[in-house]
Structure 1
Amino acid sequence: MTPAPTTSGPTGSRPADERSRALLRSARDVADDLAADAIVRDQAGRPPFDEAARLREAGLPAALTPPGPGRGVDWATGCAVVREIAAADSSVGDMLARHYVHTWSGRFYAGHEHASALEEESVREQWLWSGTVGTPAPHTVSERPDLTLRPHATGYLLDGRRSVDTAVSTADQIVVDAVCAASGDVLVVRIPPGAQGVSVEPAHDRLGQRVAGAGEVLVNRVAIAPGHVLGRRPHDEESTAPFTALAEPALRLALCHVGLGIAEGALTEARDLSRGGRAYRLPGEDPDLFLTYGELASAAQTATAVVDRATEVMAQALATGAQLDAEVPAGVAALVATAETVMSRAALHITARVLELADAPGLDRFWRNARVLTAHRPVAHRLRSIGEHYLNGSHHPAAAAFP
């Protein structure tokens, strides 16, 4: 499992260190609980109502918010919690990772006072967040928006539908971007799912991440009050504030920790099967088995080192806040792309190889989960963005989705 990180940034005082250690202990307790019935829940593939309740009971949604006075958690600790949970159940880790990043939406898109009030309310109410926000994509033809805002006497009316990767039925706040029909601006708004006119269609029979709660949100003339508008999403990279540009790589990096959790969980379960005599080859009887585990453990540790380096740099950038230098996000995005590339290859390799070591019910879920987590982020695209940054020192992060 994940070791406790060193707390850094504005909350790096001794009380914050103590809160981080207590939070990681709580995460390990939840992880142990989730691991006990992970196979049964994966096979059932139901919406994660029970899983969300377990997270709330442990206080994790309230704890995983941006750091502030007496609340929230620093980036490194938040990612460590995500990885701990993902090693036991990557669907729940996925849900928690996206929750954590979306709780930063106020800071990415809104003003300081709005963001602070929103975070305090999220902690108080134990909100679970989800959503999907696009990022500026230059030199592309505009497509018809799937979500549209129309001015109304009390704010806006929101119409359309949007695919969401986690907690579509269980989230308390869903963050999306929508085009204003009157101005053409892209606004980032939050939808309380209980609002009139909101319905959901959960995804069924997914290959992996079956308990993450993926699906579609359908909205029909949903009232969006001014207080539910977080801010304007820039049309292009040139007009994107440096701190806002961290939104998309932050989500991708949080999901890297989910991928690491999958790899660690698969390797740990295979090791336990080998030690317990339930594998194809037993320790001490086949020296090639030591070679295989050495290879897989090295792959996991290499990926962890690269992801942890990107996590450290992201933590520094997030701690800088609005004073972030304009050139920093591109460097951060390049490191995140590197972390994604290494993590994806390691997770897919490890989860496939462990199937050759043991034949046990549910062991295949690790490969299925890794495949679904990494499938829509092609390695070639990431490598091109890394190469562009290395050769040209591009000041703009590569545009991609913020799912």
Structure 2
Amino acid sequence: MGVAPAPSGPASQHDRTGPGRAHWLRVARETADDLATDAVAREQAGKAPFDEVLRLREAGLLTLLIPAGFGGGGADWPTAYAVVREIAAADGAIGQLLGCHYFLSWSARFFTEPPLADRLERQSAAEEWCWGGGFARQEPPLTLTGTGGGHVLGGRQCFATGVLVADRLALRAVRADTGEPLAVVVDPTRHGVGIGGEADAFGQRLAAGGSVEFDAVRVAADDVLGSLSADEDVLSPLTALVSPVGRLLSVQLRLGMAEGVLAEAREYSRAAHSAWQPAWPVGSSQDPHVLSVYGELTVLARSASALSDQALQAVHGGLARGEELTYDEYAEISVLVALAEAAASRAAQESTARALDIVGARSASSRLGFDRFWRNARTHTLYEPVTHRVREVGDYFLNGEHPPFVLPI
């Protein structure tokens, strides 16, 4: 897979100069440390994360990707990926919420004309919007019906991240007359929008997920961003990059979960007796069972991280290529992201499950909250399974088939 490494800086129409990567990583660590202090209590309470969104907003993380000239942080995608991973290590649900926000708030850059994208980003920065929703295909779809003054949106989306706290929803709807899928933006306070929570979720409880119902909701022409069609005469290679860009956020989320549970288990191991042999002294480095598990999980996490780095370079390089990007290059980028997805999924599931073995029977204590890592990782991987991605990697390797255009949940 021969995609060239990314250049030192991303290509852009606008001045993206902001405080710099080091600043945002420091802010992300400080925010993650803050979230970690009460992560167990917040997760068990399961309240809609208005307070958590406020913490992200006050840290400046909601406007991270918006150009500095528009009032945003001026950061690039590699920085955004690193921030999501840092937050996810402390709180997987808030990491998902933030990753979804970045993906949806940036989506206008892929689907609509620059003047409209500029207007949306300026307003999003000025009002510090939190975005929720999703573009994944669903049945039955939301329906967009044309009217004299614009459109009317109807239907129900069963699950979407961030909808309980969102200031704007970005969603997939199909035209009633042609069946063409479109990306639309909706103000959730509009008449006819009904939002319901997912109270029975066993994981990712703080990702503000829920259902959204639209009863003849009016949608202005400027709120229709553009086509989500997978037809190559509509979908350019550059626009198609929205798929691997979004899926790589899922990779960072899974890696953050894996790294977070290992870091927390390590601290516990250093301060507690071995789960297998209570005779070992506190903080023992002698227990062979503990050493083996930590070694195996470290290999999984580091291997997935290395694949993620390759995929990130490819995505960043593809964005920098702009309109010169070819379908063959897009296919290589998409396959690299699929590889990273599969590796990160395994690392997250193995680490969050086997970390409980390291801690032993004490991990059953709700006070310690180790179970939240497993529940969060398992819930996310159920919504974003990698079985299809692995099959696409095999088809590309064996037959040279380009992977399909699939938007993340």
TM-score with structure 2 length normalisation?
0.89
Amino acid across the alignment from 2:131: W
Deviation at 1:290, TM superposition (A): 2.2
Aligned counterpart in structure 2 of residue 106 of structure 1, from 105, 108, 130 = 108
Does the 8 Å contact 2:17/2:67 carry over to 1?
A: no
Q: Counterparts in 2 of 1:17-32, with a 5 A limit?
A: 18-32=19-33
**For residues 144 and 166 of structure 1, what CA distance do their matches in structure 2 show?**
17
Please list the CA deviations of residues 62-85 of structure 1 after superposition, one character each: whole Å capped at 9, or x if unmatched: 113478777432111000000010
- Are residues 278 and 102 of structure 1, via their aligned partners in 2, closer, same or farther at CA, if it must alter by over 3 Å? farther
Report the aligned-residue RMSD. 2.3
Q: Counterparts in 2 of 1:97-176, with a 5 A limit?
A: 97-134=99-136, 145-176=140-171
Please list the CA deviations of residues 363-399 of structure 1 after superposition, one character each: whole Å capped at 9, or x if unmatched: 01111111111123444322210011112222x4324
- Are residues 344 and 246 of structure 1, via their aligned partners in 2, closer, same or farther at CA, if it must alter by over 3 Å? same
Task: Report SS of the residue matched to 1:327.
Answer: helix
Does the 8 Å contact 2:193/2:213 carry over to 1?
A: yes
Moved more, 205-214 or 117-126: 117-126
Deviation at 1:342, TM superposition (A): 0.5
Please list the CA deviations of residues 263-297 of structure 1 after superposition, one character each: whole Å capped at 9, or x if unmatched: 01100000000111265254234233223212222
Task: Report SS of the residue matched to 1:149.
Answer: strand
Aligned counterpart in structure 2 of residue 259 of structure 1, from 241, 251, 254 = 254
Question: Which residue does 1:353 correspond to in 2?
Answer: 354
**Does residue 1:370 correspond to 2:398, yes or no?**
no
Aligned residues: 389
**For residues 313 and 233 of structure 2, what CA distance do their matches in structure 1 show?**
26
Question: Which residue does 1:236 correspond to in 2?
Answer: 231
Deviation at 1:300, TM superposition (A): 1.1
**For residues 35 and 278 of structure 1, what CA distance do their matches in structure 2 show?**
23
Question: Which residue does 1:342 correspond to in 2?
Answer: 343
Task: Report SS of the residue matched to 1:188.
Answer: strand
Task: Report SS of the residue matched to 1:9.
Answer: coil
Please list the CA deviations of residues 343-373 of structure 1 after superposition, one character each: whole Å capped at 9, or x if unmatched: 1111111111110111242101111111111
- Are residues 144 and 369 of structure 1, via their aligned partners in 2, closer, same or farther at CA, if it must alter by over 3 Å? closer
Task: Report SS of the residue matched to 1:210.
Answer: coil
**For residues 160 and 350 of structure 2, what CA distance do their matches in structure 1 show?**
24
- Are residues 204 and 67 of structure 1, via their aligned partners in 2, closer, same or farther at CA, if it must alter by over 3 Å? same
- Are residues 337 and 228 of structure 1, via their aligned partners in 2, closer, same or farther at CA, if it must alter by over 3 Å? same
**For residues 41 and 126 of structure 2, what CA distance do their matches in structure 1 show?**
33
Deviation at 1:124, TM superposition (A): 1.7
Moved more, 343-352 or 176-185: 176-185
**For residues 342 and 303 of structure 2, what CA distance do their matches in structure 1 show?**
12
- Are residues 6 and 36 of structure 1, via their aligned partners in 2, closer, same or farther at CA, if it must alter by over 3 Å? farther
Does the 8 Å contact 2:71/2:125 carry over to 1?
A: no
**For residues 158 and 26 of structure 2, what CA distance do their matches in structure 1 show?**
34
Does the 8 Å contact 1:145/1:179 carry over to 2?
A: no
**For residues 66 and 158 of structure 2, what CA distance do their matches in structure 1 show?**
24
Does the 8 Å contact 2:25/2:83 carry over to 1?
A: yes
Does the 8 Å contact 1:66/1:103 carry over to 2?
A: no
Amino acid across the alignment from 1:214: G
Question: Which residue does 1:139 correspond to in 2?
Answer: none
Does the 8 Å contact 2:95/2:253 carry over to 1?
A: yes
Q: Counterparts in 2 of 1:251-330, with a 5 A limit?
A: 251-277=246-272, 280=275, 282-330=283-331
Does the 8 Å contact 1:48/1:167 carry over to 2?
A: no
Amino acid across the alignment from 1:335: L
Question: Which residue does 1:83 correspond to in 2?
Answer: 85
Does the 8 Å contact 1:42/1:210 carry over to 2?
A: yes
Please list the CA deviations of residues 76-130 of structure 1 after superposition, one character each: whole Å capped at 9, or x if unmatched: 1000000010000010000011111112211111012221222222112111112
Task: Report SS of the residue matched to 2:215.
Answer: strand
**For residues 257 and 204 of structure 1, what CA distance do their matches in structure 2 show?**
26
Does the 8 Å contact 2:70/2:125 carry over to 1?
A: no
**For residues 348 and 214 of structure 2, what CA distance do their matches in structure 1 show?**
36
Question: Which residue does 1:250 correspond to in 2?
Answer: 245
Moved more, 344-353 or 65-74: 65-74
Moved more, 146-155 or 200-209: 146-155
TM-score with structure 1 length normalisation?
0.90
Question: Which residue does 2:213 correspond to in 1?
Answer: 218
Question: Which residue does 2:394 correspond to in 1?
Answer: 387
**For residues 230 and 342 of structure 2, what CA distance do their matches in structure 1 show?**
28
Does the 8 Å contact 1:132/1:176 carry over to 2?
A: yes
Question: Which residue does 1:8 correspond to in 2?
Answer: 9
Q: Counterparts in 2 of 1:177-216, with a 5 A limit?
A: 177-216=172-211
Does the 8 Å contact 1:208/1:371 carry over to 2?
A: yes
Does the 8 Å contact 1:341/1:379 carry over to 2?
A: yes
**For residues 121 and 234 of structure 1, what CA distance do their matches in structure 2 show?**
27
- Are residues 69 and 196 of structure 1, via their aligned partners in 2, closer, same or farther at CA, if it must alter by over 3 Å? closer
- Are residues 9 and 23 of structure 1, via their aligned partners in 2, closer, same or farther at CA, if it must alter by over 3 Å? same
**For residues 144 and 24 of structure 2, what CA distance do their matches in structure 1 show?**
39
Task: Report SS of the residue matched to 1:362.
Answer: coil
Amino acid across the alignment from 2:406: A
**For residues 341 and 292 of structure 1, what CA distance do their matches in structure 2 show?**
20
**For residues 333 and 161 of structure 1, what CA distance do their matches in structure 2 show?**
30
Does the 8 Å contact 1:175/1:188 carry over to 2?
A: yes
